[in-house]
Structure 1
Amino acid sequence: MKIAAYIRISDQSQNIDSQREAITGWLSNHGIELDTVQWFQDTYTGRTTRRPGFEALQKAIFDGTVKTVVVWKLDRIARTIREGVNTIADWCNGDVRLVCVTQQIDLSGPIGQMIGSLMFGVAEIGLVSNKENQARGIAAAKKRGKYKGRKKGTTKARPDRARELQAQGLTGPEIATALGVTERTVWRYLSTP
C-alpha cells in the first residue's frame, strides 16, 4: 500500500522546504523508502478543499492506492472544522491513517476522528483570533490616523487567479473563500478585463 505526503502553502511567497524536510525526516525515521511515497502539493488557502493537489490525493485515497497520509500539521488538510472533520471522518471510515509529523499525532478510526475534530477546532479558533486581532489593530490605527487602507488600484489577490478558478468550475463564494476575499471583490475581478 502506498503512502502519500501532502504539503500545502497558502501563497507563492511561502516556502515548502520546511514541510518537505519534516515529512522526509519522519518517513526516513520510520524506514519508509522515499521513492515509494506519492507527493501531493498545493498553493491554496486551507479554507477550501477544492485544491488540485488535495483533489488528486482524495482520488488516490478513494481509488485505494493510498492508505496512509503524512502531513506537516493537521491544518495543512483544512482550516475549518467542518471541512477538516468531514475529511478525517471519510478517511477514518475508509481505514486511512493520517500522520501529522510536527504535532506527533496519528489519526485513525473513531478515536482519530475525535482527536482530529478537536485539533481542527483549535485551528479554526486560531484563524478567527488572528482576524479579530487584525481588525482591532486596523481600528486602532485608523483612530490615530495611521491607517489609510489599501492603495487605490492594488488588489488583495490576483484577479487572473479568480478567472482561473472560475474556469475550473468554482462558484463565486468558493472563489472568494479560496482567495480570502469577499464575493463582491470576486465579481469585480471577474468583470474587469
Structure 2
Amino acid sequence: MTSNLDEVAVYIRRSKEEQQDEHQRDDIRNWLHRHDLEIGDVGLYPEHGSGSNSERSEFRQLIDDIENGDYTDVVVWEISRIARKGLLAQEFFDACEDANAVIHITNGSVREVRPDGTGRMVAGIIAEVAAEERRNLIRRTQSGLRRARKEGKWLGEVPAGFVRDDGYLKPNLDPDYEAGESGFLDLVEALEAIDEGDSYNQTAQRTPNVTRQTLSNIDQDPERMSWYLDADADDARVQEALNSLSD
C-alpha cells in the first residue's frame, strides 16, 4: 500500500448501540497490522445506526472528508457496513472514485474497490443483495407482527403486574420479586391505597418492584386504572388476560 499514515480512514458501524463491534475491530486491526499500521494511527469513524439511514453523522463526515481529499484509503469490515441501501453504497463508491481513494474490505469476496473501477461491479452487486436481504427481513417482521396481533398476542413492553406467557398477556399472580417482577395483586392493593389517599412515594416504597412513576402513570390513566380496579379493559388482549382472574 502506498498511502501515508494520515491518509487512511477506518469506518466501523454497528446497527444497535448494544451490539458489539469487536469482530469488526479485530479484523480491521489484523489488516492494519499487515500494513504496519495501528488503529490509533488512522482516521477512525465508529458509529451505531441503521445502514439504511442516509444521515448517519460519521458516515456523512467520512464522505465529506474523502471528498476533501483527506484520505487515499478507506478500510471497512464488509460492504454491508457501509450501507444497506444500494444508492447509499453507490454514493460512497462515487465519493471514493472521484477522490481517487481505494476502498479495502477486510471480510468479503471483494477485497478492494479501486478508483479505476476494479471490484466495483461485484461490490455493487453485494450491496444490492444486502439491501434486498434488508427488505425481506422487514417484510418477514411485518408479517410476523400482523400474525401475532391477529392471534391476540401481546407485542411490546409488558404492563406492570403482568407477564407474557407464550406470547399472551397474563396477570402475574406469582411474581418472582428477585427477578424484578411486579405482582398484579400488589398493583391492585397499591392503587386502592392511593385511591384512599396514600401518596405515590409511600405506596411505592412498600410495593415490590413498582416505582412512584409507574403508580402515577396508572393513576392518571383511567383506562389503565380500570384494568386493576375493575378487571375491565377496552383492549381485547388485556381483557382476555383479565378474564383468567375469574376462571
Indicate the SS of the match to 2:143: helix
Q: Distance in 2 between matches of 1:23 and 1:152?
A: 40
Partner of 2:28: 23
8 Å CA contact 1:85, 1:113 repeated in 2: no
Q: Distance in 2 between matches of 1:106 and 1:137?
A: 38
Q: 2:113 aligns with which of 96, 107, 124?
A: 107
Q: Please list, as runs of the form range in 1=range in 2, the aligned pairs for 1:155-170 lying within 5 A after superposition.
A: none
Partner of 2:196: none
1:128 correspondence with 2:138: no
Between the aligned residues of both structures, percent identity stands at 24
Q: CA deviation at 1:38?
A: 1.4
Q: Distance in 2 between matches of 1:111 and 1:118?
A: 13
Partner of 2:155: 149
Partner of 2:226: none
Q: CA deviation at 1:143?
A: 4.0
Q: CA deviation at 1:125?
A: 0.7
Deviates more, 1:72-81 or 1:84-93: 84-93
Q: TM-score, normalised by structure 2?
A: 0.56
Partner of 1:138: 145
Q: CA deviation at 1:141?
A: 2.7
Q: Aligned-residue CA RMSD in angstroms?
A: 2.1
Work out the number of aligned pairs and report it: 152
Moved over 4 A (4+): none
Partner of 1:63: 68
Q: Please list, as runs of the form range in 1=range in 2, the aligned pairs for 1:36-115 lying within 5 A after superposition.
A: 36-104=41-109, 105-108=111-114, 109-115=116-122
Structure 2, unaligned stretches of length 5 or more? 160-247
Q: TM-score, normalised by structure 1?
A: 0.70
Q: Which amino acid aligns with 1:67?
A: T
Q: Distance in 1 between matches of 2:120 and 2:147?
A: 41
Q: 2:125 aligns with which of 89, 109, 118?
A: 118
8 Å CA contact 1:85, 1:116 repeated in 2: no
- Could you report, residue by residue, the CA deviation over 1:96-121 in whole angstroms, capped at 9, with x for unpaired residues? 11111111521113233312221110
Partner of 1:164: none
Higher relative contact order (CA 8 A, sep 6+): 1
Indicate the SS of the match to 2:75: strand
Decide which structure has the larger Cα Rg and report it: 2
